[in-house]
């Protein structure tokens, strides 16, 4: 077996690490026979669990460190300590030992170290956090979900470009429909930087199917494959969606609990409930990707279980297989957003 593809793993990140991490890797390894993992973490804690998965152990290399990033650590602190499992895992990508890193640790820390160590791709100004999410009859890519609180028009245009590539590579959509998240569909709506970004994308040599603005309530209808926004707005939209989905499910559960008749009907409904549960299962959408860096960094939810962690790992594997990072590099080479932005500003005023 030619184990060319290597994923670097922060074995200590997440609420139930390293157990959930290793169990997740075991699931991912079963599906991907040509993958190797380099694990970074406390040998005393990792080894006993890894020993329970002999098949996984064969494709793992464990590198010891007894330091780790904690949830309460600030990004400005964690970038100074090169001996944490998170830092070492990311550094393995920089060294070329691995093609991607997966961690369930502190998001801010993972972004800060990833930026410092991997650096942004030349000509890309800011990395973004991306997720793949479900809409009514498929999936879409959304970015930025929280890396950049405020974004310029150029940042947004770059996100559009990276989102387009991601939708083609990860979702297999030939010509993704790209839209900017806004509070209205009309041209004059929203913030200045969004209007400028729209001009920038339209006038650029980026060969993307730009559909203008999208309002958040339209997203579930599947009218766009890539939704672009600044990190603050994207994070607000994402968390509003999560909260509402949970509210509706909680309401249904409680209403059934309170109703004698509903309890009788429940067995007939189990198929439907399972189907919805599966479509909405947050574990199946786990794994926010940091894009725009020289190397792929994937953040798993800190509270996920083994299945959820395996999904994050599979996302990383799938993008590495499709040469996601080098595709972005090549496409960015072709266009010059900085120059275009000058034109766009002329256009707007």
Q: Pick from 256, 284, 307, 335: which binds a copy of itself (CB under 8 A)?
A: 256
CB 143 within 8 A of CB 291: yes
Among 207, 259, 323, 326, binds a copy of itself (CB under 8 A): 259
Helix H segments across the chain?
A: 19-31, 43-50, 54-58, 75-78, 85-94, 107-118, 153-170, 192-203, 231-257, 260-280, 306-321, 324-334, 337-348
The single residue among 47, 63, 212, 232 that binds a copy of itself, judged by CB under 8 A, is 232
* Residue 236 C-beta: closest distance to a copy of itself, Å: 5
The CB density around residue 268, as the number of other CB atoms within 10 Å, is: 8
Shortest CB 147 distance to a copy of itself, Å: 11
Q: Which is nearer to a copy of itself, 16 or 191 (CB)?
A: 191
Nearer to a copy of itself, 5 or 252 (CB): 252
79 binds a copy of itself (CB under 8 A): no
Binding pattern for the stretch 135-154 against a copy of itself, x by CB under 8 A and - elsewhere: xx---------x--xx----
Note whether 71 binds a copy of itself by CB under 8 A.
no
Question: Please, which residue, 8 or 148, has the CB nearer to a copy of itself?
Answer: 148
Exposure string of 1-37, with b = 16+ CB inside 10 Å and e = fewer, is: eeeebbbbbbbbbbeebbbbbbbbbbbbbeebeebbb
Q: Which stretch binds a copy of itself (CB under 8 A): 86-94, 196-204, 235-243, 287-295?
A: 235-243
Binding to a copy of itself, residues 260-289 (CB under 8 A) = 261-262, 264-269, 271-272, 275-276, 279-280
* Token reading at 208: 């993307």
Q: CA 331 to CA 43: how far, in whole Å?
A: 41
345 touches a copy of itself by CB under 8 A? no
Long-range contacts of 63-69 (CB under 8 A, 24+ apart): 63/38, 63/39, 63/88, 65/40, 65/41, 66/42, 68/12, 68/13, 68/41, 68/42, 68/105, 69/12, 69/13, 69/105, 69/106, 69/109, 69/110
> Binding of a copy of itself at residue 218 (CB under 8 A)?
yes
CB of 291 to a copy of itself, least distance (A): 19
The binding track of 171-210 with respect to a copy of itself, each residue x by CB under 8 A or -, is: ----------x-x------xx-------------------
Q: State yes or no: residue 250 binds a copy of itself (CB under 8 A).
A: yes
The per-residue DSSP string of 74-110 comes to: -HHHHTT-TTBHHHHHHHHHHTTS-SEEEE-S-HHHH
Question: What are the backbone dihedrals phi and psi of residue 70, each rounded to the nearest 5 degrees, phi first?
Answer: -100, 160
Report d(CA 344, CA 349) in Å as an integer: 9
Which is nearer to a copy of itself, 249 or 307 (by Cβ)?
249
Stretch that binds a copy of itself, among 1-9, 32-40, 81-89, 252-260 (CB under 8 A): 252-260
Residues that bind a copy of itself (CB under 8 A): 135-136, 146, 149-150, 181, 183, 190-191, 215-221, 231-233, 235-237, 239-252, 255-256, 259, 261-262, 264-269, 271-272, 275-276, 279-280
């Amino acid at each position: 077996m030619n184990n060319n593809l290597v994923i670097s793993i922060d074995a200590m990140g997440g609420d139930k690490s390293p157990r959930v991490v290793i169990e997740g890797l075991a699931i991912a390894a079963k599906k991907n026979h040509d993958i190797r993992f380099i694990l970074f973490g406390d040998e005393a804690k990792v080894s006993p669990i890894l020993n329970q998965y002999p098949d996984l152990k064969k494709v793992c290399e464990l590198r010891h460190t007894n330091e780790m990033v904690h949830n309460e650590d600030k990004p400005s602190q964690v970038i100074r300590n090169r001996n944490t499992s998170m830092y070492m895992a990311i550094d393995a990508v920089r060294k070329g030992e691995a093609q991607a890193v997966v961690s369930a640790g502190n998001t801010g820390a993972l972004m800060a170290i990833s930026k410092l160590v991997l650096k942004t791709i030349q000509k890309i100004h800011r990395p973004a956090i991306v997720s793949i999410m479900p809409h009514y009859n498929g999936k879409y890519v959304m970015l930025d979900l929280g890396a950049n609180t405020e974004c310029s028009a150029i940042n947004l245009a770059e996100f559009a470009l990276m989102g387009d590539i991601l939708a083609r590579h990860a979702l297999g959509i030939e010509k993704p429909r790209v839209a900017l998240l806004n509070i209205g569909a009309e041209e004059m709506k929203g913030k200045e930087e969004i209007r400028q970004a729209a001009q920038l994308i339209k006038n650029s040599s980026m060969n993307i199917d730009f559909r203008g603005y999208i309002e958040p309530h339209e997203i579930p209808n599947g009218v766009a494959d890539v939704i672009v926004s600044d990190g603050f707005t994207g994070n607000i939209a994402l968390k509003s969606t999560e909260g509402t989905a949970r509210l509706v499910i909680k309401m249904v559960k409680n209403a059934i609990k309170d109703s004698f008749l509903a309890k009788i009907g429940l067995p007939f409904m189990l198929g439907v409930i399972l189907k919805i549960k599966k479509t909405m299962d947050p574990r199946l959408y786990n794994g926010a990707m940091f894009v725009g860096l020289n190397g792929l960094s994937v953040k798993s939810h800190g509270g996920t279980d083994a299945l959820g962690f395996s999904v994050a790992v599979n996302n990383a594997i799938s993008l590495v297989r499709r040469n996601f990072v080098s595709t972005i590099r090549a496409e960015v080479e072709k266009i010059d957003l900085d120059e275009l932005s000058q034109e766009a500003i002329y256009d707007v005023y």
